A and B are shown apart, each in its own frame.
Chain A
Amino acid sequence: MKVTLKIRRFNPEKDEKPWWGEYEVEAEPTERLLDALNYVKWYVDGTLTYRRSCAHGVCGSDAMLINGRNALACKVLLKSVGNKVTVEPMRGLRVIKDLLVDLEPFFEKYKQVKPYLITHSLTPEKERMQSPKEREVFDDTTRCILCAACTTSCPSFWANPEYVGPAAIVNAHRFIFDSRDEGREERLEILNSSDGVWRCRTIFNCVDACPRGINVTRAIGEVKKALLFRKV
């Protein structure tokens, strides 16, 4: 099939403002958008810039705005996007070049929620036991690959870049509801601010964007509930 890629290009060293580049690519319907991008980069215009690493939906490098929705270019099949596909960088973050955005603020927010195991009690001799049932509680949020698709699809984040954003809350959720973790209170306190969970307006864009199918809004809701009932 013939696919026309309409790509939002921007090189801050050369361009005054972003422009649209159109590229025709001959490809199999079962190929992925990333393959088409690679074709453009390797055979048409080597200056086209984007992140990609594992190319199999695991590393979370190639999240971008595809036909108006955030997705991983390596998980989107060409047959599912039609003959004309628009590709833009994720919104709400500074564009470094073309489809490459500055993820530093995103990871800054991630660090704010202390995404690591916090314990105060003595380290057990063998291992920290957890029943399958206890693990089930936060299973969904362990699957995050930090691709930033959710946070950069969130209108609350676009409106206010100080908002920690869905991805950070998902990763806080992963530890808040982990029976082995003892940093629950610290994390809840961090999220109990106007730039924490309360800036979530349950718009559900994050759920739509997540390439891992994490129910992000539900996780945020569970954190809100934990905040509400912990002092009761």
Chain B
Amino acid sequence: MNGTGRPRPESGFELYAWLFMRVSGVVLLVMALAHLAIMHVVNNVEVIDYQFVVRRYLTPFWRTYDLVMLWLALIHGLNGVRTLVEDYVGAPGWRVAALASLYVIGFVFLALGSLVILTFRPVANP
């Protein structure tokens, strides 16, 4: 702690991160609850099978729905963890390692999830 000098001026990234958390939080509240209702109240694990997914993914609506939810939820969660790291991981080495792994995990899961949602094609007899 030196306490001298003023805070570093930044690009406003934190402002957009903050705004994103609020907006995505509100959107997710609706989307995630609807998702939960569809998967566990209206339907249940006995009903949900490959055919169920195939039927849903025939229309672009559910693909879009899932894609938006994937991006919002994953980035919302990762940004939350990033905030924790920023607050509580002081050692530069650990901080860089934690942030790097967060970004890698985020990229891999976003890419994989998007790939599945966008390129899913039903096969006749799975």
A→B interface (CB under 8 Å): 104-105, 108-109, 112, 156, 159-162, 164, 189-196, 198-199, 201, 224, 227-228
Contact = CB atoms under 8 A, between A and B. Distances in A.
A190 B14 contact: no
A228 to B, nearest CB: 6
Contacts of B6: 112, 190
> On chain B, which size bracket covers the interface?
20 to 34
Contact of B15 (A104, A160, A162, A227): A227
A189 B10 CA distance: 9
Contacts of B90: 160
B3 A192 contact: no
Contacts of A104: 3
B7 A156 contact: no
Interface of B: 1, 3-10, 12-15, 17-19, 83, 86-88, 90
Contacts of B18: 198, 224
Nearest 9 pairs of A and B residues by beta carbon:
A105-B3, A198-B14, A161-B1, A193-B7, A195-B7, A108-B3, A159-B87, A112-B6, A193-B10
A190 B1 CA distance: 18
Given A112-B6, A190-B6, A195-B8, 12 more contacts: A112-B5, A159-B87, A160-B87, A161-B1, A192-B9, A192-B10, A192-B14, A193-B8, A194-B8, A196-B14, A201-B83, A224-B18
Contacts of A194: 7-8, 10, 13-14, 86
